[in-house]
Amino acid sequence: MGDEERHACAEQLATHHARGRLSAEEFEERLGIALTAQTGGELGRLLVDLPFPESAPSRRGSAPSQLEHRWAWVGGGLFLLALSVAAIVLMSTTGTLYGDEAAFQAAMTGLAGIVATLLVVRGVLGRWPVPRN
């Protein structure tokens, strides 16, 4: 992490301060931490409770968009689903497992399929498939 990241965080803090989201005291405190931060995690903690600025310039390494996040969920789910299908095909063609070992592998493969389905649904809907209160 270098000065460029520290200054980008400082600019975002200044934007939030100008829009009234940070008091002068909060801004000064966070700015001091931002300018001396040693890790990206330190910078992230300074901005985590603030909305992403609408006018932030797009730059390489910036946070992925919501659509990119959704495709990541779908892609991860489809990958896991493909692995579970491959495991089922492999188990059914080899026939080398018996008893408890086969039951355990079948249960894990089924569980992987369920998790994969939930990941895909999460990506498509943009939220977990449970109603929020």
Whole-number pLDDT of residue 23: 92
**82 burial class (0-12, 13-18, 19+ CB within 10 angstroms)?**
exposed
Measuring CA to CA, which residue among 67, 65, 73 is closest to residue 122? 73
Average pLDDT of the residues in 57-81: 69
The pTM score is 0.42
Do 113 and 84 meet the contact criterion of CB atoms below 8 Å apart? yes
Whole-number pLDDT of residue 105: 79
List the Cα angle 19/20/23 in 5-degree steps: 135
Q: 14-18, 48-52, 58-62, 117-121: which range is least confident on average?
A: 58-62
Dihedral Cα 30, 34, 39, 42, nearest 10 deg: 10
Do 49 and 12 meet the contact criterion of CB atoms below 8 Å apart? no
